[in-house]
């Protein structure tokens, strides 16, 4: 009996030692992966999939966001700078800072809060991301990381809302100089994974767009034709991000006015950033026009409009 107790105690001690050794080994592996992640990603700027808002995001082991905030405009919600990464148990913890981007004087850049007397909450751009993983291996953690952020195999231009696509495509190709000169990214932004990857498919443009043979432009209405005229004007709202940065700008949009005077296929031609473009599109989409005419009959017409954002 006494010998059996000794054997049991020895086996228990050996098992405990094995568990302790495995735990220490796993901890060491997790620590090594954590160091490698920090070496690889700390200080890097990345694009958050979904452009989710809020200061806290939680992901499961498959990379699915759990109760995320609503998708925001990518110029204020989509671009983050990684400040630190840590592996804790079966969780990857990322602390990041959101970058707010604009085009002051046509130059694409990060804009900072300058309004006086900002509360700590108002001036906070911090984002905490917690993502679960099944195994602390480099492959598993890298795979999870790639499901939270864009990778080099993604195409940013295909992931932005439709009204952004012409502008973003012009920015990430060599067509920016002659197609949409107002849409240009800074060279360092082009280095972010996913921004300039792969050829751009231009076959996704709206099927409802009138052909150029049927559409008239205001300057080309000419004899027997009239251009559309605004009869209902919805003012856009300012964004909190632009207000805190004391940032003003003008968004130029192109659109087609159909035969009934409704705007269609609104596209950004010259952005302002800071979330203002999204609000400009939302407002102009509610405008109403008297339609353009040709030989006395209503016709779809392509026009451009400017939406100004200025602080009082």
- Residue of 293, 271, 290, 289 whose CA lies nearest to 280: 271
Which has more pLDDT, 15 or 67? 67
Q: At 191, phi and psi to the nearest 5?
A: -85, -10
State the Cα–Cα distance between residues 217 and 129, nearest whole angstrom. 48
Residue 115: pLDDT over 60: yes
24-33, 75-84, 221-230: range with lowest mean pLDDT: 24-33
9 — pLDDT class (breaks 50, 70, 90): very low
Residue 270: pLDDT over 90: yes
Domain ranges of the chain: 29-149, 211-309
DSSP string, 79-145: EEEEEEEEEETTEEEEEEEEPPEE-GGG--EE-----SS--TTTT--EEEEEEE-SS--HHHHHHHH
pTM: 0.81
pLDDT, residue 176, reads: 46
pLDDT, residue 236, reads: 94
pLDDT, residue 30, reads: 67
pLDDT, residue 296, reads: 87
Q: Give residue-wise pLDDT tens across range 174-195.
A: 554 457 888 999 999 999 999 9
Residue with tokens 């900002």: 118
Residue 19: pLDDT over 60: no
Q: What is the DSSP letter of 288?
A: E
Integer CA distances (angstroms), 191 to 105, 151, 180, 185, 186, in order: 22, 11, 21, 10, 9
**Percent of the chain having pLDDT more than 90?**
58
52 — pLDDT class (breaks 50, 70, 90): very high
What does the mean pLDDT of the chain come to? Answer: 83
Residue 241: pLDDT over 70: yes
Q: Give residue-wise pLDDT tens across range 126-142.
A: 999 999 988 778 888 88
Q: Are 156 and 75 in contact (CB under 8 A)?
A: no
**Percent of the chain having pLDDT more than 70?**
77
Domain 211-309 has CATH 3.30.2420.10: yes
Residue 24: pLDDT over 90: no
Lookup: tokens for 20: 């302790």
Integer CA distances (angstroms), 118 to 62, 114, 115, in order: 38, 9, 7
116 — pLDDT class (breaks 50, 70, 90): confident
């Amino acid at each position: 009996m006494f010998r059996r107790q000794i054997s049991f105690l020895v086996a228990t001690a050996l098992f405990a030692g094995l568990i302790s050794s495995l735990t220490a080994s796993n901890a060491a592996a997790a620590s090594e992966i954590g160091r490698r992640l920090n070496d690889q990603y700390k200080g890097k700027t990345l694009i958050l999939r979904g452009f989710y808002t809020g200061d806290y995001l939680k992901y499961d082991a498959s990379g699915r966001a759990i109760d995320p905030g609503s998708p925001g405009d990518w110029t204020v919600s989509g671009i983050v700078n990684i400040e630190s990464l840590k592996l804790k148990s079966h969780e990857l913890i990322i602390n990041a800072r959101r970058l707010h981007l604009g085009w002051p004087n046509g130059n694409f850049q990060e804009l900072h809060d300058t309004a006086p007397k900002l509360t700590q909450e108002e001036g906070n751009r911090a984002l905490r991301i917690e993502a679960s993983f099944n195994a602390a291996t480099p492959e598993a953690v890298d795979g999870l990381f790639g499901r939270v952020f864009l990778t080099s195999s993604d195409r940013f231009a295909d992931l932005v809302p439709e009204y952004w696509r012409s502008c973003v495509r012009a920015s990430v190709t060599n067509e920016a100089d002659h197609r949409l000169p107002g849409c240009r990214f800074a060279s360092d932004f082009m280095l972010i994974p996913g921004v300039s990857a792969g050829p751009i498919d231009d076959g996704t443009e709206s099927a409802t767009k009138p052909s150029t043979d049927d559409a008239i432009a205001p300057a080309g209405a000419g004899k027997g034709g009239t251009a559309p005229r605004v009869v209902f004007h919805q003012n856009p709202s300012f964004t909190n991000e632009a207000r805190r940065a004391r940032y003003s700008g003008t968004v130029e949009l192109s659109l087609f006015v159909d035969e009934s005077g409704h705007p269609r296929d609104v596209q950004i031609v010259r952005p302002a950033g800071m979330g203002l473009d999204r609000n400009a599109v939302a407002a102009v989409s509610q405008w109403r026009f008297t339609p353009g005419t040709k030989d006395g009959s209503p016709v779809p017409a392509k026009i451009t409009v400017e939406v100004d954002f200025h602080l009082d």
